[in-house]
Amino acid sequence: MRRFSVTPEPPGLLMRSVLFAALMIAALVSRGDAQPVYPGMAPPERVSAVMVGDRVVNVAWHLGVVPEAMSVRGDLWAFGRTLANTSSMILGCPGYIVMKDPDIVPRILREKGLERVLVERSDPFDRTRPHRDPMNLLPILEKTGIAADPGGKITVIDFTAGLEAAIRQIGAVLGREAQAEDLIAARRAQLDAVMAGSVPALANHALVSLPAYYDSAVVDYPLILGRWAAAFTSLIEG
């Protein structure tokens, strides 16, 4: 039985209608936690660190690590809110910790005796709200005497060189180098499988149409893209 019926309309309008419906379906199938907790999966290790940026926390979780405290965009990352309720203190989004409460990260470092801050560098971090860039935290930390030094308390995780390089950098910082290589290999296999069976035009479009968090620099991108492809294919085939 066909789940959708489309009345004849001009090609351009039809394509826009199909795309809009696919976006709505994809939004539904991509809701909820992007990272399910698999049966038998060991609970993540909590480390004495503050992590600033969704993608940093996303990679760390896949490496089996969560921070003591974090700054992420809870409005775009449902699993970030789950972590905040179960394992990590959420300090607010990267915009909040700079503009609303600039002392919150230095204060947490002092109060909890944390020795490490991982700050995400992405270009861009947030297409819709550029002011939420995690890198804006660095001048605040420098004023408090916490300098960005490879051997010091702050490590800038550079996603501009590619996700795989960032995964390796986070793995090195957290002492999870082997897990980082396993994660890279698994993600490559997932992405290859999705791209081999998805609509090429959808793959290109999804990069700019998915919510800001679900871009190609996210570990779970193959999963989200696969859901888009399935929704799109289901809509067209009926």
pLDDT > 80? residue 215: no
Q: Could you tell me the pLDDT band of residue 81, with boundaries at 50, 70 and 90? A: confident
Summarize the confidence of residues 46-69 as an average pLDDT: 93
Query: Could you please report the per-residue DSSP string of 26-95?
Result: HHHHT-S-SS---TTPPPPEEEEEEEESHHHHHHHHHTTEEEEEEE--TTT-HHHHHHHHHT-EE---TT
Q: Could you tell me the pLDDT band of residue 192, with boundaries at 50, 70 and 90? A: confident
What's this model's pTM, rounded to 2 decimal places?
0.73
Summarize the confidence of residues 183-190 as an average pLDDT: 90
The model's pLDDT over 147-157, given as tens digits with 9 standing for 90+, comes to 555 456 899 99
User: How confident is the model at residue 194, as a pLDDT?
Assistant: 74
* Dihedral in degrees, nearest 10, Cα atoms 135, 108, 214, 165: 60
The model's pLDDT over 128-153, given as tens digits with 9 standing for 90+, comes to 888 999 999 999 988 877 655 545 68
Average pLDDT across the chain, whole number: 74
Greatest mean pLDDT among 7-16, 17-26, 75-84, 117-126: 117-126
Among 69, 72, 119, which residue's Cα sits nearest to residue 93? Answer: 72
Q: Would you kindly state where each structural domain of the chain is located, as residue ranges?
A: 45-180
142 versus 5: the higher-pLDDT residue is 142
- Per CATH, the homologous superfamily of domain 45-180 is Nitrogenase molybdenum iron protein domain (3.40.50.1980)
Summarize the confidence of residues 194-198 as an average pLDDT: 68
